[in-house]
Homo-oligomer: A and B are copies of this chain.
Amino acid sequence: MPCSLLILNGPNLNLLGTRERDIYGQETLEEIISRCSAYADKAGITLEARQSNHEGDLVEWIQQARGVHQGIVLNAGAYTHTSVAIRDAIAAVDMPVIEVHLSNIYRREEFRHVSLISPVAEGGIYGLGAQGYLLAIEALAARFALKN
């Protein structure tokens, strides 16, 4: 069965590469997604990527992933620390979600140290920059390979 993954990015990640580059790196979101696609293509994985600054959009995209995708790579950005709604959406869909953070959130403000997403995610990766997305895709791919 071909594997399809969804990459979701939360608020302000559309600004990547154009703001606070010392924290978030030089690449734009488009460049990162493009790298992910190239990577996925080689592995025979279909990839869809979306970004929104609206909490409700992320909730709905997670809901709609059921039956369409086999896993989600989620960088919920600022909503990581405040959104019970996204957490509930993840708990509701029966699908592995891998949490990704570009920066090392544990070196930043106290309120960024707690993620509401982590307890419902399968696992997560922090502080490894754009490569975190690639590793997350690889992890999901390995997981499905194992099952098939």
Chain A positions near chain B (C-beta within 8 angstroms)? 10-12, 14-15, 19-20, 52-57, 59-60, 63, 77-79, 81-85, 87-89, 91-93, 98, 104, 106-107, 111-116, 118-119, 121-129, 131-132, 135, 138-139, 142
Please judge, given known A-B contacts A104-B123, A119-B106, A123-B125, whether A84 and B63 are in contact too, CB under 8 Å.
Answer: no
Please judge, given known A-B contacts A123-B132, A125-B124, whether A10 and B85 are in contact too, CB under 8 Å.
Answer: yes
Closest to A127 in B: B123
Give the top 3 A-B pairs by smallest Cβ distance, nearest first: A123-B127, A54-B56, A106-B118
Closest to A107 in B: B119
- Chain A interface main SS type: helix
Interface pair A119/B104, CB less than 8 Å apart: yes
Interface pair A91/B20, CB less than 8 Å apart: yes
A19 CB to nearest chain B CB (Å): 4
Closest to A138 in B: B135
Interface pair B85/A12, CB less than 8 Å apart: yes
A24 CB to nearest chain B CB (Å): 9
A59 to B53, CA, bound (A): 7
Closest to A87 in B: B78
Closest to A79 in B: B85
Question: Which one of A15, A106, A126 has the greatest number of beta carbons of chain B within 10 Å?
Answer: A106
A81 to B83, CA, bound (A): 9
